[in-house]
A and B are shown apart, each in its own frame.
Chain A
Amino acid sequence: MIRFMIRRLLQSVLVIFGVTLVTFLAMHMGGDPTYLYVNEHASDAEIAATRAALGFDQPLPVQYLHFAEGILHGDMGTSLTYRTPAVDVVLRHFPATLELTLFALVVALVLAIPLGVMAAMRRGTPVDGGIMLFAMVGQSIPSFWLGIMLILAVGLGLRWLPISGRVPVLDPIFAGDIAGGIANIPHAIPYLIMPGMTIAFFTLARTTRLVRSSMLEVLSQDYVRTARSKGLSELRVVGYHAMRNAMLPVVTMLGLEMGFLLSGVVVVETIFSWPGVGRLVFNAINHRDIPLVQAAVILFSVTFLVLNLAVDLLYAQLDPRIRLHS
């Protein structure tokens, strides 16, 4: 187990190295980044001074080492629009995004598992067909369009839910006020439903298909037949014996799905004016605030890696075969 953990940790370090290298090179591919920091009326002398001050006159490998060293100290450059450290700006918006993503993940799982199990148990019937068609359509709808349609129909048409705004839950919790954060949950949910559903939809559709196929696979196994022939109730066979093993692939996918959810926030947060990192990135794109985008991409990647690491460890706990194979 310890060897497995060390291996995965080393892999993660390698990936973070890759992410920082790529984001670093990306910034330099667009030409001399000095021009991002000076205004268009700057004289040649001013440009040269800025270039030297920011270290852009040094060879690329040296610059990368400085960049990497900065990241280790939590310094990812200064945001061009906010004029403050990019990391701080991103971290300030992070709880809102985490809250939305977690909500979306819960929504997706709570709906996908029963739908997938139902489709598997009624295989070949109209119920199965209907659920699979829903999943197929769900995988084909662009999330941002779904968001716009929800705003039009549910927000503006029916006036059931607010189309923008947020009641913070995680911010007070991170600040130490746990009771205050929990007390906010009932007020936060109406604001979370539409953006949460929008982000969750693709994952919901894909996970439904995954649950169905893995359930079908498990249901054809010998031990399920044994359980049935022992005379156990169908509920016990499916809910207990089959479910435990059918969930393994779903757990594996969780980490990856979290990544899809995180990358979905850029467009969805923009549509619902959700004050998170996604909308921040969108605005930074429009202002060509590359250091801010860079910081957000790196932080997203690190979050994604940490989550995947956690999922892998959880998986190794659930399925001893994984530990032995590595």
Chain B
Amino acid sequence: MTTMTSSSSTASALPVRRSAARRMWRSLYRAKWPLLALAILTVLILAAAFGPLLAPHDPNRQDIIARLKPPFSSAHRGHVYFVLGTDGLGRDVLARLLYGARISLIVGLVSVFVGGVIGTMLGTLAGYFGGWIDDTLMRIADIQLAFPFILLAIIFMLVLGPGMMNLILVLGIGQWVTYARIARGQTMLQREKEYIEAARALGQKTPGILFSGILPNILSPLVIIGSFNIASVILSEAALSFLGLGVPTTTPTWGGMLAESRDQLLAGRWWLAVFPGVAIMLTVLSFNLLGDWFRDFLDPRLANEN
């Protein structure tokens, strides 16, 4: 909370912000686990960003001679080396993992952003104006919360067809309710505060009040929810890709790699299943750990609830 309000004051903004960053770093350093999570995520983001440079092979290049090579083996008389082995079509597992990281991270981050923006906007409006806007939005929210979202995601992706945009949209819309409910409650609290009354008395227009008055003060719980949702969205993306309902199956994804690994399971090609799963688990675990720490950092009152 303090970081949000202090950064909006202009005169002493710089030193305050610097000490906030230091406080953050010290808290991270003390907590250990989140620091490890941050390290993992940094490596992951770098790997996703520089994937094409790092990948030893083209992730989609098929090579019949080099198919189903176990990790740390080579093909073509030792000329081509595969650190994490190859799949049933001779494609390099490491290269596919690196490219898969992009999909998971992009879909995770962007859809949380999309859902967060939609939810915050609608929730703030509902909380500020109340009345029929509030009633309608909250009824719709109740309906959406009342049944497991992944089923709806399945039917929408089935009808809309695979694709990055569709995936981000479906997963983003799937989350708006969580943000909307919190934004609404927080807005209702802020609306009654004196500074809003003062802004209104001074003649500030409603959009201005909403954006520069209310929004900065309700943001921190929303950011906390968002940081947790990244983890669950990455899990949903993996599940949809596993079902063949994510991005087109020609794009390598971790969930898709797991789906393909099933055919090789009985033959004991463990590497095809182990590596993508470990990648998903480490990513989601890191976001969860970081989200946990972030919540305690921004709002210590909630620390006991974990």
**A interface list, Cβ under 8 A from B:** 11-12, 14-15, 18-19, 22-23, 26-27, 29-30, 132, 136-137, 139-145, 148-149, 151-152, 156, 209, 213, 216-217, 259-260, 262-263, 266-267, 271, 281-282, 285-286, 288, 290, 293-294, 297, 300-301, 304-305, 308
CA distance A296 to B152 in the complex (A): 11
Q: Which residues of A contact B213 (CB under 8 A)?
A: none
**Interface contact A26-B265, CB-CB below 8 Å:** no
Q: Which residues of A contact B144 (CB under 8 A)?
A: 18
**Interface contact B147-A23, CB-CB below 8 Å:** no
Closest B residue to A31 by beta carbon equals B159
Q: Which residues of A contact B143 (CB under 8 A)?
A: 14-15, 18-19
- Interface status of B243 (Cβ within 8 A of chain A): yes
B240-293 residues with Cβ-Cβ distance < 8 A to A are 242-245, 255, 258, 261-262, 265-266, 268, 270, 273-274, 276-277, 280-281, 284-285, 288-289, 292
Pick from A15, A137, A271: contact of B146, CB below 8 A: A15
Min CB distance, A210 to chain B, in Å?
Answer: 10
CA distance A132 to B288 in the complex (A): 12
**Interface contact A288-B158, CB-CB below 8 Å:** yes
Q: Which residues of A contact B146 (CB under 8 A)?
A: 11-12, 15, 18, 301, 304-305, 308
Known: A29-B156, A266-B243, A300-B151. 18 other contacts (CB 8 A): A14-B142, A15-B142, A18-B143, A18-B146, A26-B156, A30-B161, A136-B285, A136-B289, A141-B284, A142-B235, A142-B242, A143-B239, A145-B258, A266-B154, A285-B243, A288-B158, A297-B151, A297-B155
- Interface status of B231 (Cβ within 8 A of chain A): yes
Q: Which residues of B contact A209 (CB under 8 A)?
A: 306
Interface residues on B, range: 35 or more
**Interface contact A301-B159, CB-CB below 8 Å:** no
Min CB distance, A227 to chain B, in Å?
Answer: 21
**Interface contact B304-A271, CB-CB below 8 Å:** no
Asked if A267 meets B277 with Cβ closer than 8 Å, knowing A15-B147, A19-B147, A290-B159, the reply is: no
Closest B residue to A148 by beta carbon equals B273
CA distance A267 to B273 in the complex (A): 15
**Interface contact A149-B273, CB-CB below 8 Å:** yes
CA distance A294 to B224 in the complex (A): 35
Pick from A12, A140, A293: contact of B231, CB below 8 A: A140
Q: Which residues of B contact A12 (CB under 8 A)?
A: 146
Closest A residue to B228 by beta carbon equals A139
**Interface contact B242-A14, CB-CB below 8 Å:** no
**Interface contact B243-A282, CB-CB below 8 Å:** yes
Pick from A23, A217, A262: contact of B148, CB below 8 A: A262
Q: Which residues of A contact B262 (CB under 8 A)?
A: 148, 271
Q: Which residues of A contact B273 (CB under 8 A)?
A: 145, 148-149, 152
- Interface status of B180 (Cβ within 8 A of chain A): no
Q: Which residues of A contact B84 (CB under 8 A)?
A: none
Q: List 30 A-B contacts (CB under 8 A).
A: A11-B142, A23-B155, A26-B152, A26-B156, A29-B156, A29-B159, A30-B161, A132-B306, A139-B231, A139-B284, A142-B238, A145-B281, A148-B277, A149-B277, A152-B265, A152-B270, A213-B306, A216-B304, A217-B304, A259-B147, A259-B148, A263-B151, A266-B150, A267-B242, A285-B158, A290-B159, A294-B155, A301-B151, A304-B147, A305-B146
Min CB distance, A224 to chain B, in Å?
Answer: 16
Q: Which residues of B contact A19 (CB under 8 A)?
A: 143, 147
Q: Which residues of A contact B156 (CB under 8 A)?
A: 26, 29
Min CB distance, A302 to chain B, in Å?
Answer: 9
**Interface contact A144-B242, CB-CB below 8 Å:** yes
Which of A139, A140, A290 gathers most chain B CB within 10 Å? A140
- Interface status of B61 (Cβ within 8 A of chain A): no
Min CB distance, B103 to chain A, in Å?
Answer: 14
Q: Which residues of B contact A282 (CB under 8 A)?
A: 243
CA distance A49 to B274 in the complex (A): 52
**Interface contact A213-B147, CB-CB below 8 Å:** no
- Interface status of B139 (Cβ within 8 A of chain A): yes
Closest A residue to B287 by beta carbon equals A140
Pick from B140, B160, B266: contact of A29, CB below 8 A: B160
Asked if A144 meets B147 with Cβ closer than 8 Å, knowing A213-B304, A285-B245, A297-B152, the reply is: no
**Interface contact A267-B239, CB-CB below 8 Å:** yes
Closest A residue to B277 by beta carbon equals A145
